Amino acid sequence: MLKRSFDITLSLIGLILLTPFFLAIAIFIKLDSKGPVFFRQTRIGKGGKPFRMFKFRTMVDAGHWVGPLLSRQSDPRVTTIGAILRRLKLNEFPQLINVLRGEMSFVGPRPEVPEFVKLYTKEQQRILCVRPGIVGPSQIRMRNEEELYPEGVDPQVYYSRHILPMKLGVDLSYVDNRSFVKDVGYLFQGIWTTITGAITGRHLFSNSEQIALFFCDIFICGLSYSLAYFLRFDDEFSRLHKTVVAHTLPYVVVTRMGALAYFGLYSSIVQYFSFNDVIKVIKGVCFSSALVILLAFLVGERSHPRSVFAIDWFIVMFLLVGYRVSLRTLRERLNQREREVEEKVLIYGAGDTGDLALRYLRMQGMLDVVAFVDDDPKKLRKTFKGIKVLGNRNDIEALVRLHHVDHVLIAMDDLNHESLEQAKILCKKAGVSYEVFALTNGGTRG
């Protein structure tokens, strides 16, 4: 009776407090893929009674695609937002409804589908004498179950033969030694495991940069919103304003981070941060700002000044883009210092082919382009792609000696045989090696 009262009270509080988050997650799910917000599946509860368990949908809604009952890591059916919900275990939140209805408890063995319950031995069927739970001892021990499947195995067969027996053994021990005090302990363990298990050692190693950016962005989003509110009211920043900020800040941060992740910002590498990534930031900030205004209205903050959201929009946009560009620039400079510049290069041709040649050399990272030369007098002394055009082909020898050029890259547009031979003669006269850069091949070093 005590446990049931605890379940009812906590599930009611949870549903009330998490309703705004439910709305935000529902919007992301609907935008991510077609289909319902909730996934409902038949599970077996106390006494062998079947019930419909609720989860947020994390897979594509394709009735014609049956697929396996179980999902392992890298399952192609999992959606973009679904992968995030699974990693953070947010897809389990709707089970608060099952707890409130008495079909589940906060703590207990995880409910199984009928197909696997049929495989239970008589001894294992004792698990059905208690209500299944959102958090269970076996779930705590095997938090990221999808990662337990070896490559190339049938998930359903491997689960029934290896994983299920281990889970049932742990859950039977719980059934034989359960108590309310232990349940409270399991609940806190489950919360801690959910937080820490979201990032495994392997996941941390392979995504360390994106994880660092993610937590940095959390700080920036919180700082930006708080600063926007302070700038809006300045000397009039009262205790009431502080209360409003504290009330709305969690919704702002969660919504904004969800939007940035949804639009793919954390799949980018900061070293190659580009205009396309700036567009991702703009989309994420604009969408989340609109969503935050809607959530603020729904949670009762209708007097919230809209100007705060506008100020926050500018600040967070500037900070998110600014520090990424700064990191990219810093990394590029550090990489340049670590490398010893092998050659100074002169590019003959300030046109489309010369532009491609410059990009190619910059990708190599160990070449210093000192200048361009071009036979078009209109380009003389002008800047092309940030580099000066210092002369024409007849100035190659002088420029080689003046700038200690090691190599000339011939990259003229529509270069004919006669012009090419003249360029080669001039390079040989200057005593410098040369290479022809063409769209079809990289040329040969002379």
Read off the tokens for 55.
Answer: 């989860």
What is residue 64's predicted lDDT score, i.e. its pLDDT?
46
The end-to-end CA distance of the chain, in Å, is 89
Q: Which of 383, 442, 437 has its CA nearest to residue 411?
A: 437
Q: Which residue has the tokens 């190693």?
A: 205
DSSP track, 123-181: TGGGGGGS--EEE-HHHHHTTTGGGGSPTTS-HHHHIIIIIHHHHHHHHHHHHHT--HH
Residues found in the chain = 446
Which residues of the chain fall short of a pLDDT of 50?
A: 64-65, 441-446
pTM of the model: 0.55
Model confidence pLDDT, tens digit, residues 63-94: 544 555 666 556 678 887 888 888 788 899 99
Read off the tokens for 445.
Answer: 């070093």
Cα gap 168→136, rounded to integer Å: 11
Specify the DSSP element, H or E, that contains 371.
Answer: strand 367-373
What is residue 445's predicted lDDT score, i.e. its pLDDT?
38
CB-based contacts of 150: which residues, under 8 Å, 6+ apart?
A: 158
Specify the DSSP element, H or E, that contains 78.
Answer: none
Return the exposure string of 334-355: e unless at least 16 CB atoms fall within 10 Å of the residue's CB, then b: eeeeeeeeeebbbbbbbbebbb
- C-alpha distances out from residue 420 to 120, 162, 345, 412, Å: 81, 70, 18, 9
What backbone torsions phi and psi does residue 65 show, to the nearest 5 degrees? -100, 100
What is the signed CA dihedral for 371, 376, 377, 382, rounded to 10 degrees? Answer: -40
What is residue 444's predicted lDDT score, i.e. its pLDDT?
38
Model confidence pLDDT, tens digit, residues 377-389: 899 889 998 899 9
What is residue 339's predicted lDDT score, i.e. its pLDDT?
52
Cα gap 286→309, rounded to integer Å: 10
What is residue 40's predicted lDDT score, i.e. its pLDDT?
92
